[in-house]
Amino acid sequence: MYDFKGKVALVTGGTSGIGLEATKMLLKGGAEVLIVGVSENEGRQALMELEDWDQQLTLVTADISYPSECNRVVQTLLSEFGRLDILINCAGVFIEHTIDEVEEVVYDRIMDVNVKGTFFMCKYAIPQMRKAEGGAIINISSDAGLQGNYNCTTYCASKGAITLFTKALALDLARDNIRVNCVCPGEIHTPMVERKIEAAVKKGETKEVYLQALLKDYPIDRMGKAEEVAAVICFLASDMASFVLGASWSVDGGVTAGP
């Protein structure tokens, strides 16, 4: 277990999936955490799941695709906890389509959440980390931020942007003692993947056939677990990763290891 006593963390997308599992680990390590989610219903469910740590936890409902909302989230955290040490940008959207099928409204939504949201959460968090004389930022990219995936042009563009944004920001902030890294998960069993499966079934595929196609290139021959990604996130957030910055950590069962 990592030691986060005395630390304050902000987790976007913290009400489900990888973000929720990372929040649990932070809380177990003694951190105070503000989680952000766009769905009030998911937020209520998360608070019930995290009720053992309710004295360390605050929920904000916000749409981080709007920079003003990113600023509001950070200001709320400061009013609750007074400082910021760790930012984990887990909020993201995935929509599978060919470029012929992409409409501008869909393109904008993917880029606004995945790229703009991450960018502006960092922008408003960084001054507070400087005041705290250091911190850690972990962005969530994807295997799709390292290599091309079929029918994912917009999503790949957004996650590729996160991977290189992370490296550039790490260079800018190294002398401020703020470490910036990203994690690149493969297929992880989360609500996002469940929605992908549901969409495939609606198109006429069976769940079994879809999963077989989804996992055919995975040497480990299974889907990942959210807690497996969360463990890497929390390592990068911890003082144990003090010499790690600008890195892109693959947590993908080996899917990007080969040709």
With vertex at residue 164, the alpha carbon angle to CA 158 and CA 169, rounded to the nearest 5 degrees, is 115
Does residue 155 have an active-site annotation? yes
Average pLDDT, the chain: 95
Instruction: Tell me the CA distances in angstroms from 231 to 1, 24, 26, 214, one per residue in order.
Output: 9, 10, 10, 24
**Residues linked to residue 57 through DSSP beta bridges, in sequence order:** 33
Query: Do the beta carbons of residue 95 and residue 86 sit within 8 Å?
Result: no
What is the average pLDDT across 200-205?
82
Q: Which CATH number is associated with domain 8-188+225-249?
A: 3.40.50.720
Residue 256: half-sphere exposure toward Cβ, Cα within 13 Å = 17
Provide CB contacts within 8 A for 113, sequence distance 6+: 64, 65, 91, 92, 93
More confident of the two residues 193 and 71: 71
User: 255 phi and psi, to 5 degrees?
Assistant: -65, -30
Is pLDDT above 80 for 227?
yes
pLDDT digits (tens, 9 = 90+) for 139-193: 999 999 999 998 899 999 999 999 999 999 999 999 999 999 999 999 998 887 7
What pLDDT was estimated at residue 194?
82
Q: State whether residue 59 is helix, strand or coil.
A: strand
pLDDT digits (tens, 9 = 90+) for 24-55: 999 999 999 999 999 999 999 999 999 999 99
Is pLDDT above 80 for 122?
yes
What pLDDT was estimated at residue 205?
83
Q: Which residue in 66, 107, 150, 155 is the catalytic one?
A: 155
More confident of the two residues 193 and 120: 120
Residue type, 250: S
Where does the chain have alpha helices with state H?
17-28, 40-49, 67-81, 104-111, 118-131, 153-173, 191-202, 207-214, 226-237
